[in-house]
């Protein structure tokens, strides 16, 4: 017991001030790491948004007539698959911006109903690949890997057949309306406001 008592007597108990300083430093480091993690995740997920892609996209009328091949994406802001693919599409757009038109058509806008019906859009994202003359050469539906999209764009630029034409991946279900919503501003609907 004499050896044990001498060991215990030589160890100094930690002071309460030292413990408080250590705990304070640990708390500061934990807060700093948490803030860095949150900011890092926000900048990673906000690197490309569907709204940004839409604003930077080529109008459909221009894409069909400017002599460059095009990729048309039917999307919606609520589409989780579209959101997931947005960073890849943004990166591909930067790589191919001089060679390919990138067109974004929001399926929630009834303006695009004729195109939705023409291309039979029933799941999004829905990609339509158009040649230099604006003619449809292939379609891909759903989640597509970066490699698949890049390979298709390379073939599109080269004017050769797309290696991954008619591919399907995970989609967000969507049903196009069969007709545009009724507008009260339509002069032919003047009798529809009459209530007996």
Rounded to whole angstroms, what are the CA distances from 141 to 100, 120, 147, 149?
19, 11, 15, 11
Task: List, as one string, the DSSP characters of 13-78.
Answer: PPPHHHHHHHHHHHHHHHHHHHHHHHHHHHHHHTSS-HHHHHHHSPPHHHHHHSSS-EEEEEE-TT
Q: Which of 63, 71, 72, 79 is catalytic?
A: 79
Rounded to the nearest 5°, which phi and psi values hold at 107?
A: -70, -15
Task: Examine the residue annotation and report whether 6 is marked as an active-site residue of this protein.
Answer: no
Report whether 73 contacts 174 (CB < 8 A).
Answer: no
Task: Examine the residue annotation and report whether 82 is marked as an active-site residue of this protein.
Answer: yes
String of b and e for 77-104 (b: at least 16 CB within 10 Å)? eebebbbebbbbbbebbeebeeebbbbb
Q: Which of 53, 72, 76, 82 is catalytic?
A: 82
Task: List, as one string, the DSSP characters of 148-169.
Answer: HHHHHHHHHHHTSPPTTTT-B-
Residues annotated as catalytic are 79, 82
């Amino acid at each position: 017991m004499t050896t044990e008592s001498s060991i215990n007597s030589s160890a100094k108990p930690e002071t309460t001030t030292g413990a408080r300083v250590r705990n304070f430093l640990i708390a500061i480091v934990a807060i700093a790491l948490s803030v860095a993690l949150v900011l890092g995740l926000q900048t990673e997920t906000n690197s490309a948004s569907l709204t940004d892609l839409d604003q930077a996209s080529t109008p459909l009328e221009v894409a069909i007539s400017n002599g460059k091949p095009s990729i048309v994406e039917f999307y919606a802001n609520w589409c989780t698959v579209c959101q997931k693919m947005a960073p890849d599409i943004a990166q591909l757009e930067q790589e191919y911006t001089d060679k390919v038109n990138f067109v974004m058509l929001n399926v929630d806008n009834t303006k695009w109903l004729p195109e939705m019906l023409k291309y039979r859009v029933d799941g999004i994202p829905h990609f339509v690949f158009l040649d230099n003359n604006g003619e449809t050469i292939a379609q891909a539906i759903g989640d597509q890997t970066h490699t698949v999209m890049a390979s298709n764009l390379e073939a599109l630029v080269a004017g050769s057949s797309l290696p991954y034409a008619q591919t399907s991946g995970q989609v967000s279900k969507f049903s196009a309306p069969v007709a545009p919503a009724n507008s009260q501003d339509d002069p032919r609907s003047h009798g529809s406001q009459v209530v007996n």
